Structure 1
């Protein structure tokens, strides 16, 4: 069932931008607009985005942020994301690349996964100070030049610039205090929830996993997010359901099974209570 989860292919991403046609495992675009995809989705490729002008609304998993230029955005394939418009005028550079392209000749197949900013919703956005803005302008300019010059060494040159981008972003993370870190129990709850929500939707399970009482866990989550633990569990299940429902090759009954509901009608009631529409209505609206 896992391979049935809807993802945006690299070809589909290319189709969202004018004049972005090639058959390679990567592509670069500088755009004055962004395909604002409001429904949650995953992608098969990595993306590093340089927001030069304007602002954009991005949601990854359950975290929604308004991103103002200048900023770098990093997204890994497994991240559920959606975008909404915030400003009339933006300028954004995006490099998309498949992991198999980047890892060519790389002995460490886990190289990309060791950088949390590709997968962790609290780390996707890098707000740039003036000196870093200048640095990334230079890197992206060189990257664009290498792609405009269609030499035989283009893939190797591009990998070199991607390594530079990743190392520079990792350095920024190391020297920048993380002001988004909240209560460690809340942080651990989010981590466990992202791994276990398909099988565990009881608040008591997460309280036991964290060695705290259900009441104490609920208080911490409410104080740190304004939402209850039950809200978090419900919202992440709904998010996964929306991604799955966009794949018409998967039946609603299969989705119900994947999400561990006892039957399709139970899943239908849950989804309608949470969203106001049935799973079938949502599918018809989005496909």
Structure 2
């Protein structure tokens, strides 16, 4: 385990890695994994698109473990705890996209962003592509890599447009895999999607329904009604289950003590945190952590 889950900042990544090609537009293209970035658990504040050409690597993302191999696409989203163990000969291209790029290039469609599969945490991180899809992905990657080295007057704008199209193409591919899609929901869909995005972004800040309702400019009662319609659970239950899920990640991947985790998750004290965790898991945080090393444990999120 590691004391810290590193928060990897997009701009710091640029400053400390001169080999990375960038137009200063919020796009990095890497031909190899940066060992110091991925060897320990870290939380990235940017999006990542990776395509594997050869061999495999083990990717631990939140509490899931994936084998990322040739012909597969892996999507990293902000806020996810991420760690990579690459095998010898592992070859992939990684396109890192700053959130500022998303804001600029999807500005006119912000009301739709939450519904796009690329941005949604309830859609899969790992996508097993068929031959036709692989050809499409490789075509975009080759074009992006070529343009990323271009110094022409309009190369920046062409690159941004191409990457935007690439993201939409990925959304199209994900949507064509019906067995991996989320169940269709109707009524209040936009509120539900915005709520889940806000929860992912603010779960360390607030555990209160009113906080999220205020962000959405709706009443707590109406938010609760929408969440119950989608999940059969109250909004407060969904918030608490998500926080419990994230706490499990810290207990598994770090050696922060109980008081430190309580502080990170904005609990008033360790006693309150222990009571909260025990209520939702029937185990104290310490017993839960110890159970991970005494038997094989499968941890799942309720969301």
Class of the TM-score when normalised by the shorter of the 2 chains: 0.5 to 0.7
**1:222-252, CA deviations, whole angstroms, 9 ceiling, x for partnerless residues?**
xxxxxxxxx9975531325688988xxxx98
CA contact (8 A) 2:50 2:95 kept: yes
C-alpha separation in 2, matches of 1:211 and 1:34: 43
Match of 2:90? 90
Match of 2:296? none
How many pairs were matched up? 237
Segments of structure 1 that go 5 or more residues without pairing to the other structure are 201-208, 213-230, 277-287
Q: 1:168 to 1:95 in 2, by over 3 A?
A: same
Q: 1:112 to 1:242 in 2, by over 3 A?
A: farther
Match of 1:31? 32
**1:186-217, CA deviations, whole angstroms, 9 ceiling, x for partnerless residues?**
xx9xx79x7679749xxxxxxxx6659xxxxx
C-alpha separation in 1, matches of 2:255 and 2:108: 37
Match of 2:62? 61
C-alpha separation in 1, matches of 2:11 and 2:253: 19
Match of 2:101? 101
Alpha-carbon offset, residue 164 of structure 1: 1.9
Aligned to 2:31, the other structure's residue is in SS state strand
Q: 1:71 to 1:86 in 2, by over 3 A?
A: same
Alpha-carbon offset, residue 140 of structure 1: 0.7
Which residues of 2 match residues 225-236 of structure 1 at below 5 A? 236=246
Q: 1:164 to 1:21 in 2, by over 3 A?
A: closer
Matched, 1:156 2:162: no
CA contact (8 A) 1:62 1:236 kept: no
> What is the CA RMSD across the aligned residues, in angstroms?
4.3
**Aligned pair partner of 1:237 in 243, 247, 266:** 247
Q: 1:17 to 1:57 in 2, by over 3 A?
A: farther
Matched, 1:75 2:76: yes
Segments of structure 2 that go 5 or more residues without pairing to the other structure are 186-191, 209-227, 234-240, 276-283, 291-303
C-alpha separation in 1, matches of 2:111 and 2:16: 30
Aligned to 1:152, the other structure's residue is in SS state coil
Match of 1:275? 289
Q: 1:236 to 1:100 in 2, by over 3 A?
A: closer
